Amino acid sequence: MTGNKIFITNGEHNLAENIIHPVLARIEGDPPGTTGISIFLVPKFLVNPDSTLGARNDIVCTGVEEKHGIHGSATCSMTLGAKGECLGYLLGEERKGMKIMFYMMNDARLNTGLQGLAYASAAYLEALNYSRERIQGRDLADFADRGAKSVPIIKHPDVRRNLLRMKAYVSGMRSFFYYAALCGEELGLGNKGEALNEAFFSLLTPIVKEYMAVMGYEVCNQAIQVFGGAGYTRDYPVEQYARDCRITPIYEGTSGIQAMDFLARKIGAEKGAAFAKLISEISQTTARAKEIKTLAPLAEKLDTAVSRLTDITQIIGKKALSPEFKTAFAHSLPFLHVTGDVIMAWMLLWRGVVSSEKLAKGCHPKDQSFYNGQIRTAEFFIQTELYATLGKMDAVAQGCPAAIEMEDDAFGGL
């Protein structure tokens, strides 16, 4: 085998006796494009018939990339066959490389979304603790009283708004990941509608990967903001969380790749039944919420957003099949993001429903604050973030073609 690979995480190290590289490659004479690609296993050391390690294979690390973040994870450039002696072993059937690779890729995409959630959760908790301890400025109610004592910054309205926004995304993403993981675990258990369930899980995958990566990074950014200047220094961990999290929208397929997959393959899966299942699942939660007096107005607003999401899905889906398909794909990422927003509202309302039911049955006073916090978090997201989502939906429906129709040279000349 001959060729080069870049951005190979831990492509070279001394923490294991051997390293096995899965490598996509084309057998000489196979057709061009992805249909002609096979996958091979390329070991660092060849393995003898008795399972002992043999000679060093002709694969070497030629460099380690300097990165913006995740400095504890070496990302290597690898050269295969520099001496013409690199051996690789076919995995599976010839010309089935892409299909085999996606078994690994889809799992990695879910893990990337989880990584975004983990960074966001850690950053939020750091910011929350700091806001409780950092004493700065008088309470806004005592602003005119120069003799008033300074208070923890968690008492300041904008800090509270920022914290609640972070909490909303972290809570919504956590529930969404658990939900998606459960859908994945249920596959292969012999349940009815297996094809639909698999399509539904596949529909959720690019949203988990892209939305949670992007919003995880956003939460890290806002955590720095809570810290103020201190957050921009290495005295606190949130600046590292932001740097490390920035890779997640790039890992395992960039944002644009996820959006193209979502629009081109996922929303139309099983003749649209997978997307219809998503709408049905959300509607079951709003129906429960409408039975609870305090949550009914939130359920109505979520229903409005779901209805609008259904409308723009039809609009962008039809445009993707028309001569204006490039314009549709220019708006595919905002379309994925508004779907993620609606799912966040769904997850938070679902939490609110469960919390309301727990409170109605009676619970420990310590738990009451937790459950009340879930209800307030749902209220905040649906009454603030979801309004912005509706505006973004209008933009997707409008389908402005400027990005497609603009001349290449016109992008210059700032």
**Can 93 be counted among the known catalytic residues?**
no
Integer Cα distance of 68 and 308 in angstroms: 39
Beta-carbon neighbour count of residue 246 at 10 Å? Answer: 19
Can you name the residues that pair with 79 across neighbouring β-strands? 4, 60
Residues 330, 150 contacting (CB under 8 angstroms)? no
Joined tokens for residue 17: 């006796």
294 three-class SS:
coil
Integer Cα distance of 107 and 184 in angstroms: 10
Beta-carbon neighbour count of residue 210 at 10 Å? Answer: 29
Integer Cα distance of 149 and 333 in angstroms: 48
DSSP 149: P
Residues 135, 150 contacting (CB under 8 angstroms)? yes
Task: Report which of 9, 6, 7 is spatially closest to residue 72, judged by C-alpha positions.
Answer: 9
AA letter at 27: I
Instruction: Count the residues in the chain.
Output: 414
Q: H or E segment at 318?
A: helix 296-320
Integer Cα distance of 35 and 30 in angstroms: 9
Beta-carbon neighbour count of residue 110 at 10 Å? Answer: 20
DSSP 73: S
76 three-class SS:
strand
Of the candidates 126, 198, 252, 270, the residue annotated as catalytic is 252
Task: Report which of 205, 145, 164, 215 is spatially closest to residue 374, judged by C-alpha positions.
Answer: 164
Report the relative pairing of strands 3-9 and 37-43 from DSSP bridges: unpaired
Task: Name the residues annotated as catalytic.
Answer: 252
